[in-house]
Amino acid sequence: MTDRILINRRAWLAGVAVPALPGLIVVPALAQTREVLTIAAFPLMDEIARAAIPAWQAMHPDVELRILMRQYTDHHTAMTTALSTAVGLPDVMALESSFVGRFAQGGGLEDLRQPPFGIEAFRPRIVPYAYDQAIARGGAVVAMPADIGPGTLLYRQDILDRAGVVAKELTRSWDDYVAAGERIKARTGAYLIANVQEIKDILIADGLRPGEGVYFDTDSRVLVNTPRFERAFEVALRARRKGLDAKVQAWSNDWGAGFKQGRLATELSGAWLVGQLHAFVAPETKGLWRAASLPGGSLVPYGGTFYAIARRSAPARKRLAWRFIQLMTMDPHRQLQAFKNYDAFPALRDVQDDPFFSEPVSFLGGQRARLLWRDDALRITAQPVHKQNKFAEEVVQTELDKVLRGQKTIRTALADAEQLLQRRAKR
C-alpha cells in the first residue's frame, strides 16, 4: 500500500524476526566455487532466498549463491546508490513494490522483455496487477513479481458478537463500516480502527482509472484535488469526529497492545498481517479473528516484492541471474514454501490452486480465508508509481492531519496539497 505502511512493517519485522546487526550479512553456499552470484535482499526476503540454496546447488553446483542482507531502508538506499553510480551492483536485487516504479523511471533496470530474459512468456502465469506494476512508462518490464499483498479487512468476531454487529455490516459500504463502528464503540468500548489514516490510505487508492496513479497521472498531472480524495478525507473525518479510532500508528507499541487487549475491533491491511498477528503481534488472540473483503468492494494492494536485474550489472552473469529469478518466482514448490513459511502470498497463479489455499486458517477460527484473498487479488488493478509519490504521500498525510485537528476544511487542504505538488511535479 503506502510507503509509510511498508517501511514500518519491514522495520518492525527486522526488529523481531532477525538480529539487529549493522551492515550486511553474507551467507556462503559453497566453500569452493568457480563463480559467485550475488543476491541483495532485506529481512524475510533473505531467508526465502537462503532456503533456496539447496535447490540452486542442485541446478548449478559450480556457482556459489551469495546473499547480502541489509535492513529494509538501508537496502533500498544502497540499491539507489548502486544504480546511480554502477558501483556495488548485485547480480539480482529484491525490491519492495513501491521502489520498482521509482527505479524504473531512472532507466537503471534491465528490460526483462529482451533476450535472454523473455518475461512476457510468463505473463499468463502471474497475478495480473503484480505484472502490470513492473511495466515502465515506455513499456519495459523491469522486475519479476515474487509475492503480493491483497488488501483485507480483519475483524474480531468476539467483539462483533458483543456489539450485535454482523460482518456484512462492516463490508457493505464505507458508510456502513463507520455506522457499525459507532455501535461497536457504544456497546463494547472497543475502537473500530487504530487510526483513520488507514481509511484514507485505501480510499485514495481505490477505483483508479487507466493511466492514473494514486497522486499523479502518467502525464504528471496532480490528482489530489478530486472527488476520490474528498471522499477519503470525508470518511476519515467522520470516523474521527465519532471517536472511532484509537489515534495510534501501525506497528507502534500501542498498536500491538490494542490487539492484545481487545481494544481494536478491526484492521485494514494486507493478508500477510494474519501471519504477523499470529507469530509476533498478538498470538494470544488466535481464533478470535476473521477476514473479509475491504468495505464497499474496495480493492487495493498492500505491498509486494519483486526481483530485478540492474542494467549495468556484470553481463556475464545475467543469464544466471535470470535463472535464479525464475527459480524464486516460477517454481511452484518454491513459491508455496515461501507462502507457508513466511506468509509471502504467491504472485504465481499456478500455486493458487494448491489444496493449501483451501485449508482452514487456525488463527482465523478455521476460516478458509486464502481463497478470499486469492479471488480479491485477481481483481486488483495496478497502481502506477510516480517519482514524487513519497513526497505526495507526506503532503496528503499532513493535510489530513490538519483537517482532523480542525485547522483546515477538506477543500482548503486539498487545494493546498494540489498547489504544492504542482510545483514539485515540474522539477
What's 293's DSSP letter? Answer: P
Are both 94 and 216 inside the same structural domain?
no
Tell me which amino acid residue 421 is. L
Q: What whole-number distance in Å separates Cα of residue 286 and Cα of residue 365?
A: 7
Are both 132 and 93 inside the same structural domain?
yes
User: How many CA within 13 A on the CB side of residue 181?
Assistant: 31
Please say which residue of 323, 345, 369 terminates a domain.
369
Q: How many domains does the chain have?
A: 2
Are both 206 and 164 inside the same structural domain?
yes
Are both 395 and 275 inside the same structural domain?
yes
Q: What whole-number distance in Å separates Cα of residue 311 and Cα of residue 142?
A: 10
Are both 331 and 293 inside the same structural domain?
no
Is 413 within the bounds of a domain? yes
Are both 141 and 154 inside the same structural domain?
no
Is 375 within the bounds of a domain? no
Please say which residue of 341, 369, 397 terminates a domain.
369
- CA distances (Å), origin 230, targets 339, 393, 397: 37, 15, 13
Tell me which amino acid residue 40 is. A
8 Å CB contact between 127 and 304? no
Closest CA relative to residue 297, chosen from 210, 177, 197: 177
Are both 131 and 155 inside the same structural domain?
no
Q: What is the CATH number of the domain that holds 202?
A: 3.40.190.10
Are both 243 and 204 inside the same structural domain?
yes
Is 277 within the bounds of a domain? yes
Are both 274 and 414 inside the same structural domain?
yes
Are both 155 and 239 inside the same structural domain?
yes
Q: What whole-number distance in Å separates Cα of residue 393 and Cα of residue 390?
A: 5
Is 374 within the bounds of a domain? no
Going residue by residue through the chain (427 aa), what tens digit of pLDDT does each one get? Answer: 444 444 344 444 444 444 333 344 444 444 454 799 999 999 999 999 999 999 999 999 999 999 999 999 999 999 999 999 999 999 999 999 989 988 887 789 999 999 999 999 999 999 999 999 999 888 999 999 999 999 999 999 999 999 999 999 999 999 999 999 999 999 999 999 999 999 999 999 998 887 788 999 888 899 999 999 999 999 999 999 999 999 999 999 999 999 999 999 999 999 999 999 999 899 999 999 999 999 999 999 998 999 999 999 999 999 999 999 999 999 999 999 999 999 999 999 999 999 999 999 999 999 999 999 999 999 998 887 777 888 999 999 999 999 999 999 999 999 999 999 998 876 6
What's the angle, vertex CA 272, arms to CA 266 and CA 275, rounded to 5? 85
Domain extent for 358: 3-149+302-369
pTM as predicted? 0.88
Are both 187 and 220 inside the same structural domain?
yes
Could you write out the three-class secondary structure of 68-121?
Answer: EECCHHHHHHHHHHHHHHCCCCCCEEEEEHHHHHHHHHCCCECCCCCCCCCHHH
Closest CA relative to residue 306, chosen from 72, 131, 137, 85: 131
Please say which residue of 323, 346, 369 terminates a domain.
369
Instruction: Tally helices (H) and strands (E) across the chain.
Output: 18, 9
Are both 163 and 285 inside the same structural domain?
yes
Q: What is the DSSP string of 118-160?
A: -GGGGGGGB-HHHHHHTB-TTS-B--EEEEEEEEEEEEEHHHH
Is 377 within the bounds of a domain? no
Q: What whole-number distance in Å separates Cα of residue 33 and Cα of residue 368?
A: 45
Q: What whole-number distance in Å separates Cα of residue 231 and Cα of residue 125?
A: 36
